[in-house]
Amino acid sequence: MTIEIGQELPTGTLTESNEFDAENGCPTNPQALDVSEMVSGKKIVIFGVPGAYTPLCSAQHLPGYVELAEQIKAKGVDEIWCMAVNDAFVMASWGRENNATDKVRMMADGSAIYSKALGLDRDLTGGGMGIRCFRFAMIVDNGVVSYIGVEGSGEFGASKAETILENL
| Residues acting as catalytic residues | 57
Contacts with 126 (C-beta within 8 Å, 6 or more apart), sequence order: none
DSSP string, 53-79: T-HHIIIIIHHHHHHHHHHHHHTT--E
Burial class (CB in 10 A: 0-12, 13-18, 19+), 104: buried
What's the rounded Cα separation, in Å, for the pair 19 and 127?
A: 32
Alpha carbon of 126 to those of 64, 68, 121: distances in Å?
A: 29, 34, 14
Which element (helix H / strand E) includes 28? Answer: strand 27-28
What's the rounded Cα separation, in Å, for the pair 87 and 22?
A: 20
